[in-house]
């Protein structure tokens, strides 16, 4: 409430016509939180909801996480548990540092509770992220690392680009997210084809096995686009199972524009991926499909359109083990994180109290 009444108007004013400026101001503020142990610890005490869950061998203090793209370079990792998150996914990083697409590249659609972005993986590169994580103090929650393909690397050499990033970041990641679904890197989504996936995921699994050197491997999640057909998702899931990939993140942003208010159609014409409220029903349907297709055996991280605790719960109900949010943080503020984690905790307690049939 305080966020919606006070902080959001200020942030939106800072970034009037330039949503990326507001994003940078927020991140700078959070960097200070991250760097100050006393502030960080007192915020953790105030905001962390303890609703522990273990997924793929990783222990999460609660199942609500920060989605990729907000903290691409891992500059504020200590701040995320302080806001109440049970995990944070940094990145997407690429092997080669790159500036991303020309600005403006981030647009707000407040009436539709949505964002459109065509950032294009602006990031400092995998080595810079590794260097930052190497000196960061221990964080109170798991950190996922999202890796993508550098723009300058030809698609045919995508596998080695992902492998390089995995190598330098392996010891800092609690899990990896393989991003093959951003709509903002030309050709990237074609890597979701079964043949390309088999090569990429097979190579990443083999590398992971060798990097783990006999210890438990880092789980690998593949982040998929909401615009894939069900047969294409089914094929991709088969490859995931064959290559021993842990699970999927469903979903990334959509190229569709359904659910955008008519008065925001001119902004909706901007190229890029749509996130927030209009994505909700699509992501939920993909989570449900993956859960059904894999008989509930494959861990799913739900992502897309979580703007309220009930929305997060609906992704859990559809089969997600963990849920991430990004746009909801922009529109509803950090209280959404705590409220969603509490909602999940209540639902779990309620389920446990139900008599078994």
Ligand X SMILES: Cc1cc2nc3c(=O)[nH]c(=O)nc-3n(C[C@H](O)[C@H](O)[C@H](O)COP(=O)(O)O)c2cc1C
Kindly report the number of other CB atoms within 10 A of residue 331's CB atom: 19
Rg (CA), the chain: 19
**Distance between CA atoms of 323 and 325, rounded to whole angstroms?**
7
Crossing angle of helices 194-212 and 158-169, in 10° steps, is 30
- Per the structure block, which two tokens stand in for 30? 């959070």
Is position 178 an interface residue for ligand X (rule: CB under 6 A)?
no
Pick the binder of ligand X from 73, 112, 275, 321 (CB under 6 A).
275
CB count within 10 Å of CB 193 equals 14
Q: Using CA of residue 204, residue 249, residue 67, residue 80, what is the dihedral sign? A: negative
Query: Residue 148, annotated ligand binder?
Result: no
Q: Is 182 a catalytic residue?
A: yes
* Count of residues making up the chain: 357
Q: Where are the alpha helices (DSSP H) in the chain?
A: 2, 8-14, 19-35, 37-47, 79-82, 126-135, 158-169, 194-212, 230-243, 265-268, 280-293, 309-318, 327-332, 335-353
Residue 295 annotated in ligand binding: no
Residue 67 binds ligand X, judged by CB under 6 A: yes
Closer to ligand X by CB, 182 or 208: give it: 182
- Nearest residue (CB) to ligand X, 40 versus 291: 291
Which residues 111-150 are close enough to bind ligand X by CB under 6 A?
115, 117, 119, 121, 146
Binding of ligand X at residue 325 (CB under 6 A)?
yes
**Count of positions on this chain that bind ligand X (CB under 6 A):** 27
* Least gap, CB of 36 to ligand X (angstroms): 26
> Which one of 150, 181, 182, 321 is the catalytic residue?
182
Q: Which is nearer to ligand X, 40 or 253 (CB)?
A: 253
Is 72 marked within a binding site?
yes
The pairing of strands 220-224 and 175-179 is parallel
Residue 154 Cβ, how far from ligand X at the closest point, in Å? 21
- Token couple for 35: 């760097």
Which residues are annotated as catalytic? 182
Bind-site residues: 68-72, 92, 117-121, 146, 179, 184, 223, 251-253, 276, 305, 326-327
Binding residues for ligand X (CB under 6 A):
67-69, 72, 92, 106, 115, 117, 119, 121, 146, 179, 182, 223, 252-253, 275-276, 279, 303-306, 325-328
């Amino acid at each position: 409430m305080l966020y919606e009444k006070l902080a959001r108007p200020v942030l939106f004013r800072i970034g009037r016509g330039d949503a990326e400026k507001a994003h940078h101001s927020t991140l700078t503020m959070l960097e200070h939180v991250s760097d100050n142990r006393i502030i960080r610890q007192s915020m953790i005490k105030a905001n962390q909801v303890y609703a522990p869950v273990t997924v793929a061998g990783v222990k999460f203090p609660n199942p609500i996480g920060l989605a990729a793209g907000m903290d691409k370079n891992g500059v504020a990792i200590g701040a995320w548990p302080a806001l109440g998150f049970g995990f944070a996914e940094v990145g997407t990083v690429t092997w080669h540092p790159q500036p991303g697409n020309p600005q403006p590249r981030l647009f707000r659609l407040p009436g539709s509770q949505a964002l459109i972005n065509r950032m294009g993986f602006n990031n400092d590169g995998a080595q810079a992220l590794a260097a930052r994580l190497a000196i960061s103090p221990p964080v109170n929650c798991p950190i996922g690392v999202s890796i993508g393909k550098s723009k300058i690397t030809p698609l045919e050499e995508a596998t080695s680009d992902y492998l390089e990033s995995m190598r330098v970041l392996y010891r800092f990641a609690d899990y990896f997210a393989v991003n093959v679904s951003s709509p903002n890197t030309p050709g990237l989504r074609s890597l979701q084809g079964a043949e390309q996936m088999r090569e990429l995921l097979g190579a990443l699994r083999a590398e992971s096995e060798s990097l783990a050197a006999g210890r438990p491997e880092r789980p690998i999640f593949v982040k998929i686009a909401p615009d894939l057909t069900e047969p294409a998702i089914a094929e991709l899931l088969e490859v995931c199972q064959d290559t021993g990939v842990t699970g999927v993140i469903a979903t990334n942003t959509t190229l569709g524009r359904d659910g955008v208010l008519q008065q925001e159609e001119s902004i909706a014409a901007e190229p890029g991926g749509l996130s927030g409220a209009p994505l909700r029903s699509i992501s939920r349907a993909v989570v449900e499909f993956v859960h059904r297709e894999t008989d509930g055996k494959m861990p799913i991280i739900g992502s897309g359109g979580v703007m309220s605790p009930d929305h997060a719960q609906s992704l859990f109900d559809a089969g997600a083990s963990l849920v991430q949010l990004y746009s909801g943080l922009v529109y509803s503020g950090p209280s959404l994180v705590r409220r969603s984690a509490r909602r999940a905790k209540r639902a779990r307690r309620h389920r446990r109290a139900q008599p078994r049939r």
